[in-house]
Amino acid sequence: MVDAGHNPQPSARATLVVIGGLPATGKSTIARALTRQHQIPYVRIDTIEQALTGSGIADASGTAGYIIGYALAAEQLRMGLSVVVECVNPVEVTRDAWSATAQQNSARLLNIEVICSDPDEHRRRAEQRVVDIPDLVLPTWQEILDRDYEPWTVERLVLDTAIMNFDSAVRLVTARMFIA
């Protein structure tokens, strides 16, 4: 018997929650809180990419991590489970692929872009973050500034963590996740 409390959904469709944004904006904090609160699967592209890099199989700068992420999310969605994906999601092609993943698996898609509109705060976070994935090399502040990050052209929920605390962000995402 399946315990419905592990994946509470008022509708029959699972939700693919894709949390994107530049490094050090608060994506991981929000994603972890959502997965703990709702006990739903969490796919983190940094974890996949670091595992590939550490194994010597692939270079993390490629697309392999995202391709694996699409497959892992799709598998959860096919089982009727909502899933939270956390990644930079920097270009339209990755955003389109997450959309296709949701569509192909009859899931709702909730795109979220996490930003930090205060550059001083964003820099402080980037410079003071603690690595939570073994052997992952975090980007420098300059690397974050220089990163290729295309403007979004699709509907999304924008969370500005410079003006919104993380609890409020999680409540807002939760409200959007479970709208029928």
* Residue 140 belongs to a domain: yes
How far apart are alpha carbons 161 and 5 in whole angstroms? Answer: 29
Domain CATH code at residue 33: 3.40.50.300
* Residue 152 belongs to a domain: yes
Cβ contacts of 133-136, under 8 Å, gap ≥ 24: 133/46, 133/47, 133/50, 134/50, 134/54, 135/50, 135/53, 135/54, 136/46, 136/50
* Residue 133 belongs to a domain: yes
**Straight-line distance from the first to the last Cα atom of the chain, in angstroms, rounded to the nearest whole number:** 24
The range of the structural domain enclosing residue 30 comes to 14-166
Per-residue pLDDT of the chain (180 residues; tens, 9 = 90+): 333 334 333 345 899 999 999 999 999 999 999 999 999 999 999 999 999 988 887 666 668 999 999 999 999 999 999 999 999 999 999 999 999 999 999 999 999 999 999 999 999 999 999 999 998 999 999 999 999 999 999 999 999 999 999 999 999 999 998 775
The answer to whether the beta carbons of residues 52 and 64 sit under 8 Å apart is yes
* Residue 180 belongs to a domain: no
* Residue 67 belongs to a domain: yes
* Residue 151 belongs to a domain: yes
* Residue 6 belongs to a domain: no
How far apart are alpha carbons 145 and 142 in whole angstroms? Answer: 5
* Residue 113 belongs to a domain: yes
Number of domains in the chain: 1
